[in-house]
């Protein structure tokens, strides 16, 4: 089963003068049809003007993944060192027992980012910050794992990932990236008991007889084999998550 979330149906909320496009209920945006997708709790699209800041005050027991779509981002969080992130870099905060004053500030040309929140398998774990830098090989056509909670994916327990290994998640989930040329396909195999959420950043794709355009997403249920075919050059993120919220 495939359900497409059209760009024009996304919710919006405002924070410090920033309009956030929300795939699921968030802050003062609430839609009973879009609360979460398994342990995927938030998918937000955020555009920042030069020097503009996006701020979260306190969050606990959540993995906050920030993927830089364009521009440069400066991350500041209590308990951790400041980080500078460029296009396609991934920043993860495992908030555990609580992180305060999390801020992402755009560089001099502005920035856009995708922020994804996942619910960990256990509560009150140790706080952790991880940065995974973009690699050219991430965009060779197949689905590449950016972050994972599966031991077999060999994530490294370190603050910086420098050998193209996945960053660590606190749940059995994956975040993946793929860039496909026009006419090419990418395949991903999972369990029919899990959920997948495909966000098309740019371009357009087909999944079976369903088309997903840039800025849209597809919630995919009860499907073991995902085959995505690009109509044009396409960049996308794919989350594979447990279907039940812990």
- The domain locations on the chain are 2-241
Alpha-carbon distance of 220 to 228, in angstroms, equals: 12
Give 22-80 pLDDT, tens digit per residue: 999 999 999 999 999 999 999 999 999 999 999 999 999 999 999 999 999 999 999 99
Q: Take residue 37 and report the two structure tokens written for it.
A: 């997708």
* CA angle, 6 then 203 then 89, to 5°: 95
Alpha-carbon distance of 96 to 109, in angstroms, equals: 33
pLDDT at 157 over 90: no
pLDDT band at 246 (very low <50, low <70, confident <90, very high): very low
Q: State how far Cα 196 lies from the chain centre.
A: 12
Cβ 199 vs Cβ 67: under 8 Å: no
Per-residue pLDDT, 245: 58
CATH class in words for 2-241: mainly beta
Query: Which of 126-135, 159-168, 225-234 is least confident?
Result: 159-168
Give 77-124 pLDDT, tens digit per residue: 999 999 999 999 999 999 999 999 999 999 999 999 999 999 999 888
């Amino acid at each position: 089963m495939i359900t497409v979330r059209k760009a024009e149906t996304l919710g919006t909320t405002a924070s410090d003068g920033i309009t956030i496009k929300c795939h699921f209920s968030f802050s003062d945006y609430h839609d009973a049809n879009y609360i979460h997708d398994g342990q995927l709790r938030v998918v937000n699209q955020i555009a920042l003007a030069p020097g503009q800041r996006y701020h979260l005050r306190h969050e606990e027991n959540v993995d906050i993944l920030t993927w830089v779509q364009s521009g440069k981002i400066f991350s500041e969080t209590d308990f951790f060192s400041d980080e500078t992130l460029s296009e396609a870099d991934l920043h993860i905060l495992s908030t555990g027992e609580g992180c305060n004053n999390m801020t992402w500030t755009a560089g001099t040309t502005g920035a856009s980012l995708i922020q994804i929140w996942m619910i960990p398998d256990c509560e009150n774990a140790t706080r952790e910050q991880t940065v995974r830098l973009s690699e050219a090989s991430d965009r060779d056509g197949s689905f590449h794992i950016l972050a994972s909670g599966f031991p077999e994916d060999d994530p490294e327990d370190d603050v910086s990932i420098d050998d193209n290994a996945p960053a660590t998640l606190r749940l059995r989930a994956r975040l993946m990236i793929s860039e496909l040329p026009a006419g090419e396909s990418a395949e991903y195999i999972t369990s029919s008991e899990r959920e997948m959420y495909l966000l098309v950043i740019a371009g357009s794709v087909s999944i079976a007889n369903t088309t997903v355009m840039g800025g849209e997403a597809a919630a995919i249920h009860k499907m073991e084999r995902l085959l995505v075919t690009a109509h044009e050059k396409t960049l996308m993120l794919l989350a594979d998550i447990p279907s039940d919220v812990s």
